[in-house]
Structure 1
């Protein structure tokens, strides 16, 4: 279609006029609510996967923003904006928003790379090893108590029965069962004691940790079930991001003058 000069002028005028009318979502008691505020809310809702962008969503957002504006105006009239507690909360919220902007900018400029994720995954696999162990333990307070338990076990007492008296109340009722786990899930001195045991064997001497003295039994072993990298990529990325942010915070703190 070819526009005639007059029709083209009208079209251009219409396009030019749109921002002037569309810049405000509504005007409440003379106070304008900018359309950009609604756009930001819609964008956030869509990004979070709650709802797709639609006329229904935009209408709901509009109503909500109008209600909020009405209530805000009423709150200001009542003097709540000057309340000390409210002012403190507003300052905290302001600080949080600004800090979050700084964090987003830092992470955008310093993203977690796929190579970093793979390196962390490989490190985890190496630490986890190729086996999982199903172990039980009995926790006592002293070495003498541990020796007494070991003597009873050698005398024919059942491990699961003696475990009912364990100081570890979380596992006592289940016969000291610590379930299936990789060695790196435990303190090294603890895992070192059971990785060399045969199936069904019990440690000859107690293993001491800050929690007390442990008598350990190996129920069984099986090949380690390590998830594929794609399954845990998001978790690894989040963990690496937290480490990077912590390092960033510590670096800024070192430069700060704190009295």
Structure 2
């Protein structure tokens, strides 16, 4: 056997092995390509999963089962049905739209400077003094006046809050509202609260749209905020999503259509 014949024979022997390496299995004579497994694993990593031997095996099982079921569906003529074609059109649109947005994000990535600007803006809005207050909320002014008198006579604020406050969210904790910025509350509440000193209580009921409040200030502190590096990934994502939303709005605005959207 000459050298050329040996090379041909070797190629003929290797070819089935190469084909086999590209396939996961053969189902009823039809190859199931390894590329399908790679596609599933790529989708898994997009979702934050790590590729492990177990995950890879499940992906292989999945593509082989899909091929078995697909062949049966084709045998029964389901691919020619109207219902199948309608769903395939919706699926086609879904995939195209997803890839459009992924392509846009890839070509218009958020920058660190944009994330820092977002950080500074949020930090400025969140800075300032936080107030740790308690309150008791009742229906009438007379109820509130009586409770104030009871507290001044020695009753515990927390006990009366548990018993009498109609704010069920804080009543069971003795009226505790934890630390919050003044703008977290309605204006009447904030105005009365910020005038108090640590340990003080409002002498008169504070009226708001919810009823009558008795407010006690437990403590104050300067608002804390995480460092830029701690929240950088979330801010980058926030900038990215904001930019994508703007892109979607621009496409909607530039499209020529007689359709009227519910929100223009």
Q: Report the TM-score when normalising by structure 1.
A: 0.73
Partner of 1:236: 235
The aligned length equals 245
Q: Identify which range, 170-179 or 248-257, moves more after superposition.
A: 248-257
Q: Is the 8 A contact 1:163 1:176 kept in 2?
A: yes
Matches within 5 A, 1:214-253: 214-253=213-252
Give the alignment's Cα RMSD to 1 decimal: 3.6
Residues 240, 51 of structure 1: alpha-carbon distance in 2 compared, 3 angstrom cutoff: closer
Matches within 5 A, 1:159-178: 159-164=157-162, 165-178=164-177
Partner of 2:197: 198
The answer to whether 1:152 aligns with 2:125 is no
The answer to whether 1:208 aligns with 2:208 is yes
Q: Report the TM-score when normalising by structure 2.
A: 0.72
Matches within 5 A, 1:1-259: 22-46=21-45, 50-52=49-51, 58-78=56-76, 82=81, 84=83, 90-141=88-139, 145-146=140-141, 148-150=143-145, 152-154=147-149, 156=152, 158-164=156-162, 165-187=164-186, 190-203=189-202, 204-206=204-206, 208-209=208-209, 211-256=210-255, 257=257, 258-259=259-260
What's the CA shift for 1:62? 2.4
What's the CA shift for 1:149? 0.7
For residues 36-68 of structure 1, give each alpha carbon's deviation from its aligned partner in whole angstroms, at most 9, with x where no partner exists: 2222223344565544465x6545432321112
Query: SS in structure 2 opposite 1:112?
Result: coil
Query: SS in structure 1 opposite 2:218?
Result: strand
Q: Is the 8 A contact 1:27 1:33 kept in 2?
A: yes
- Structure 2 distance, partners of 1:40, 1:198, is 63
